[in-house]
Structure formats: C-alpha cells, structure tokens
Amino acid sequence: MLPSQLTPASFSAYPPEAKALAESQLELLRRLPLAFLPLLLRELIVYDWKFPAERAELDRQFRYLSSNPGLPGFSQLKLSRELEQDDWVNSPAVFSEQLSAHLWATRQIDAFRAAATDYIRRATASAPDAALPAHRLGVAIIGQGVERNEYRLFRKLRPNGVYYSQVKHQNGVQTILDAAAARAKEHPAPYAHWYIDGASTSSTPPSLTAVSYAALAASRATLQARMQKTYEASVFDPEAFRTMLAQLRPEEVGLGMSSDAVLDRFKLSLLTEGSGTQVFATTFVQWAARETLRRAQPITLVARFTPRQREKQMNELLAERQRKPELDPAGSLIDADMGAYYTWLNQQRLSGDDKSAFLVWFEDHSDAIAISPALARGIRLDTPIELADLVAKVA
C-alpha cells in the first residue's frame, strides 16, 4: 500500500481520538513519503494515550507538514517492495523496525538520520514553544545504602555547577519532595510534576505523578516470564519478539486497573521499550526519567535511584543452585551518578534550558551539586548549608 491509497477506512482499527485525528488529516497523510509516514503514524496511533506535551508536539508537526509535505530528505530514500507491502498503517512500530534494518543494510541510515534531524529542527522552529509557568527543576537523589564511597562523584556535572561538600540533610528526601509538591501546588497542570523512585512511592504527595520500580514488581515478573518463555522456544525470532513486546496491552502484565490509562501505558512502555529496565532499578530510574522528560516534558522531576541487584560473576553463578537476591549499593552509586548526568542532559534538551535548574544529592551524605543560571560553575563550597536552603536556591 502507498500513502496515496489511504482512505478513512484505513484507520478503522485506531483508537477513537487517533482515528479522528487521522481522518481529519487524511489529505495531508496521502501526500507524505512512505519513508516518513509510518513514523508519524507510530506516534499518531497512540494519540489517545499521549501526554499533553506530546499532543502539542504532534499538533505542531501537523501544522508544519501541512505547508511542507514534500520532505525531500525522506522522499529520496529507496525502499523495498516488501516494505511497501507491510501493514504499516496498523503496525507502524513493526514497520519502523524493518525500515531501520533496511536502511542499515542499504547504507541509507546516514541519509535517513540527516533527514530526520533536519525535519525535527524545522518543525520545532516553525512555531514557538509554549511559555513555561516556571523554570524546569530536576532533582536526582543517588547512592541510597552506600556507607563509604571512594568514587569521585558528580565528575561530569561539576564543571556546570557548584559542588557543596557540607550539606546538612536531616529528612532530606522529604525536604525535596515537599519542594516538588510546593511547585506542583503553585503551578498545577497534568503530568507537569513527577516523582520516579526505585523503591516504593507510597508516601508521595498526590500532586506528583509517581512511578516506582518496586511497585511494578508484579508486572516485571509477568513480563520476564513471557520473555523467558520466548527465549526457551525451539526457534527464537527476535523480530517477532519485538512485535510481541510492542503489542502488549497494559492489562496483560497487570497494569490497566487504575483510572489513568495514559500513565499505565507509559509504565508499560518503560518495561517493554527500555533495555535493562526489567531487572536493574538504576537503569529503570534513569530510563524513566529520560522518557518522562522526552515525552511529558515536566517542569518538576525528582528521580531517586535505589540500589540495583548485584550482577554475579560467572563463578558465583556456577557455584550456586539458586540466585539469592543481593544488592550492589556501590556499583549502583556509579550507575546513578551517570544516570543523574544523563537526566540533566535530557532536561537541557527541552525548552527553557537557559533557565533550568538541577540538583543532585548523595542520599544521607553531605555531598550535592547544584546547577542553575543563578549559580557559579565549576566551584566547590565547603561551608555548611542546609539541604532545604540548597533546594530553595534551585526551586
């Protein structure tokens, strides 16, 4: 099927809001090149479960495309007949995987990459970002459970902010959550204020959207069981495996019972699209923070890294009949230090980056780094400071 052959009936299997949007944009969709359109449909088909920021972004792209449907960078890519015959309307994610393989194999991936980069740049520049109600604030809490540390923390972030070595931190986590809740109260908006935790989020202020690795234990176990079953099949097909993951519904892994279908879908995507998120708490928190920033574009994000399970060495695995769950706080601190850096990078990719602030605190320790346009860069302060005062500097 080619884009020009699309009809309203083509979208009959789409969820209601996605279907309505597709039908309203049908004339435009017919004019888009095949190397591009399924990628757009991949976003559109899940429109019903998109965050407000994502919907705004998709709307902006439609407005841009209405006056720029040619997309020469994509039109010039040579696709195979097999790709044309795919059911790219109803399975755009599968098509994307196959398109990616085709582009790598035919050495067109660089051209595609250039076209995609150019498209995003132009579409983003075509309309200004909405004004933010407040500057963005990101907070990473790292190192839970670590007693002594010899790793040089904040090594990537130090050039960008102030390293505080004498932070007084009584009730530190609660202090940070209270500050986040205060921002949520002052600037209420759907999915604008988030708390991601490797542990439980049972005491999270209700004004924050919460995601917890620990709370997803049952879903992770169900998913891992399905993955293991696939692994043990006589013939394993990685493409079919990816398709299976892409088509999972929240209720199949024990999600979908809440009143927030958007958040349930998001949680599922963290487990099915992230690599390592099913088994490592540190990876989950980093990936969840990345995806939250990329998709929901919050103005407040608190990410608390907790210890992941220890990766056992081969000789240990061979010696033990059953794996006993152990934690690796020291290794997790290193993971989280890098995760905090990536979270800052991802925050800086959003609008308002010139006003954004970021704080990393080594949980239950006196080390923190703060980054803000109001603070100096690359300096160390050894004078005592209350964590609440430090939070106030960036919040």
What is the closest distance, in whole angstroms, from the C-beta atom of residue 328 to other proteins in the complex?
8
List own/partner pairs for 4-9 with CB under 8 A and 24 or more apart: 4/30, 4/31, 5/30, 6/30, 6/89
| Binds other proteins (CB under 8 A): choice among 2, 101, 217, 261 | 101
Q: At what angle do helices 281-291 and 329-348 cross, to 10 degrees?
A: 10
- Asked whether position 154 contacts other proteins by CB under 8 A, the answer is no
Taking CB under 8 A as the criterion, the residue among 215, 222, 241, 327 binding other proteins is 241
Is residue 220 involved in binding other proteins (CB under 8 A)? no
| AA letter at 7 | T
| Binding of other proteins by 145 (CB under 8 A) | no
Sole binder of other proteins in the list 72, 159, 190, 276 (CB under 8 A): 276
In this chain, which stretch among 167-175, 236-244, 252-260, 262-270 interacts with other proteins, using CB under 8 A?
Answer: 236-244
Q: Smallest distance from the beta carbon of 308 to other proteins, in angstroms?
A: 7
Contacting other proteins (CB under 8 A), which of 311, 353, 386, 389? 311
How far apart are the two ends of the chain, measured CA to CA in Å? Answer: 52
Q: In angstroms, what is the C-alpha Rg of the chain?
A: 23
Non-local (6+) Cβ contacts of 336 within 8 A are: 140, 142, 143, 282, 285, 286, 305
Q: Is 308 in the site for other proteins (CB under 8 A)?
A: yes
Helical H segments across the chain, by residue range: 16-24, 26-31, 37-44, 52-67, 72-75, 81-85, 92-105, 109-125, 172-186, 217-231, 238-247, 261-273, 281-291, 314-319, 329-348, 387-394
Binding mask 167-206 for other proteins (x = CB under 8 A): ----------------------------------------
Among 105, 130, 189, 374, binds other proteins (CB under 8 A): 105
* Residue of 39, 47, 2 whose CA lies nearest to 22: 47
Which of residues 58, 83, 109, 375 is near other proteins by CB under 8 A?
109
341 binds other proteins (CB under 8 A): yes
CB of 80 to other proteins, least distance (A): 13
Q: Is residue 279 a contact residue for other proteins (CB under 8 A)?
A: yes
Count of residues that interact with other proteins, criterion CB under 8 A: 53
34: left (phi over 0), alpha (psi -120 to 50) or beta: alpha
C-alpha 102/C-alpha 323 separation (Å) is 40
**Binding of other proteins at residue 366 (CB under 8 A)?**
no
Q: What sign for the dihedral angle of Cα 61, 63, 64, 68?
A: positive
Q: Contacting other proteins (CB under 8 A), which of 82, 150, 319, 324? A: 319
CA distance 267 to 144: 23
Q: Which is nearer to other proteins, 6 or 330 (CB)?
A: 330
- Our CB check for other proteins shows the closer of 150 and 382 to be 150
Binding residue for other proteins, selected from 315, 324, 325, 382, defined by CB under 8 A: 315
Assess 351 for contact with other proteins (CB under 8 A): no
Q: How far is CA 393 from the centre of its chain?
A: 27
Report if residue 236 touches other proteins, rule: CB under 8 A: yes
Report the alpha-carbon distance of residue 168 to residue 161 in Å, rounded: 19
- Strand bridging mode 137-142 / 300-304: parallel
Q: Is 235 in the site for other proteins (CB under 8 A)?
A: yes
CB of 138 to other proteins, least distance (A): 16
Q: Does 62 bind other proteins (CB under 8 A)?
A: no
Cα–Cα distances in angstroms (integers) from residue 199 to residues 203, 267, 281, 304, in the given order:
11, 15, 8, 8
Nearer to other proteins, 10 or 278 (CB): 278
Give the residue among 156, 184, 153, 129 at the shortest CA–CA distance from 301.
Answer: 184
Q: Which residues bind other proteins (CB under 8 A)?
A: 101, 104-107, 109-110, 113, 155-156, 227, 230-232, 235-236, 238-239, 241, 274-277, 279-280, 282-283, 286-287, 290, 308, 311, 313-315, 317-319, 321, 328, 330-332, 334-335, 337-339, 341-342, 345-346, 349
